[in-house]
Amino acid sequence: MGRPSRNQITEELDALQSLIERHSTGLSRHQISELWTQRLERHLPERTLSRRLETLVDQNRIRSVGAGPAVVYQPVAARVSVAPSSAADSDYVPLSSRGEEVRLLVRRPISQRTPVGYDSKFLESYIPGQTWYLLDDQRQRLHERGRTPDETKAAGTYAREIYNRLLIDLAWASSHLEGNTYSRLDTQNLLEFGQRAEGKDAAEAQMILNHKAAIAMLVDQAEYVGFNRFTLFNLHGALSDNLLGDPSGEGRLRTQPVDIGGTVYTPIAIPQRIEEMFDRLLATAAAIPDPFEQAFFVMVQLPYLQPFIDVNKRTSRLAANLPLIKANLCPLSFVDVPKAAYVEGTIGVYELRRIDLLRDVFIWAYERSCQRYRVVREAMGDPDPIRLRYRDGLIDVVRETVLSGRAPSTEALRSWARAHGVREDDVATFVDRALGSLLDLHDGVLIRYRLTPLEFETWKARFAAVDALR
């Protein structure tokens, strides 16, 4: 008989856990073997059964009581002792039975939770296309919910259509999950008008502005970003800008130990090992064939590794949007996600290597985002076909005009359009759109045109008329 597949092992583990959970007082190994044969009508070899039970115990999915022939296996929930649910639990996402179990486990007092370290097997055992964190029906449902009219268009088209709303939603919601106290209106005023909220810490404004830079990078460079070092380092660099005690940690892997508050989990501390596992994480993510599985995989594995000195969860939330934006699926904004649910789901991964609660949060959050952006997109009407058709050309002509130091000129833009393949019946509209983009150029869109603030200011200073029209 050949070696069992990863899916077969997962099914056997799940079936054993389910069988044991039906007997709160516990079962001996012999009783488990008999019940398995009776209910599934097939034999599980003794050595295989022992390995599966050891795995379930190691993963804190069941507990063993006693030793030797007298050992008994019990459901973990049988020993869980937590305070009764509070009114705050009404502000939570709907949970599966396994998600509820993880929530109970991570709510135990710290003194009752066993300290754990990084387990490389959690990543190494994941085989793209064979291992699935999201079940088949869950992925199918997410694809149905997230499908947009732009699925066959250039990467990032849909996200650009809803960009203004996505920018505010994602910057605010992701920052809120980090404890940022800016309201959504405060966030909008900061992003659109540069107006900082009174009485708020400067670091909170910096966090939101950093999200703006990171989101712009994902949307404007959608064709080029991916699960590679360049993208993840630049994503982290944007999100951590001016927020770390040591700026040298921005966009670089950490070289020192870190502690995480509120958990008994201690991440790996050896720099060479961090680098090795980070590269493996990226290679694995890039090889996953489904964008939703990619998104959830990086939300699970990146914070678990903690490759950066800080800002790991923020980086994972933005990186989770990378495959969705590239595939023109509805993005994941995290709006309305209860902080407690997200934090407890993440701790479940840290301490138990259990994805169940975080998966419940991910699925609920994504479906919530789809509902939100479907309404937004319908209210906007159809996008400008010229901007869609000549997106790269408009970016190039604006960039070249600024870098050359030329003033906006209808004649120059018309010549450029004809020299670069714009259809004759589109030239007039193309010139109109390009001229409008130049006259409305501002700091908030410079990354779209691959321009720096200094290049823009130098160009603007030469032409006072452009500044007057802004």
Per-residue pLDDT tens digits for 165-177: 899 999 999 999 9
Dump pLDDT digits (tens) for 333-372.
999 999 999 999 999 999 999 999 999 999 999 999 998 8
Distance of CA 213 to the CA centre of its chain: 16
Please report the pLDDT score of residue 37 as a whole number: 81
Confidence bin at 87 (pLDDT 50/70/90): very low
E strands, 261-346, in order: 265-266
CATH number for region 6-76 = 1.10.10.10
Confidence bin at 456 (pLDDT 50/70/90): confident
Closest to 15 measured CA to CA, from 38, 101, 137, 79? 38
Confidence bin at 83 (pLDDT 50/70/90): very low
Domain ranges of the chain: 6-76, 110-380, 385-469
CA–CA separation, 338 and 90 (whole Å): 10
Confidence bin at 132 (pLDDT 50/70/90): very high
Pairing of strands 116-117, 27-28: unpaired
Closest to 260 measured CA to CA, from 305, 295, 294? 305
Percent of the chain scoring above 90 in pLDDT: 57
Dump pLDDT digits (tens) for 195-204.
999 999 999 9
**pTM for the model:** 0.68
The DSSP H or E segment spanning 259 is none
CB atoms within 10 A of CB 168: 24
The DSSP H or E segment spanning 187 is helix 184-193
Closest to 355 measured CA to CA, from 283, 291, 303, 281? 303
Pairing of strands 116-117, 265-266: parallel
Tokens describing residue 465? 């008329």
The DSSP H or E segment spanning 293 is helix 291-305
Closest to 390 measured CA to CA, from 349, 418, 366, 358? 418
Confidence bin at 445 (pLDDT 50/70/90): confident
Dump pLDDT digits (tens) for 374-384.
777 665 555 67
CATH topology of domain 110-380: Fic-like fold (1.10.3290)
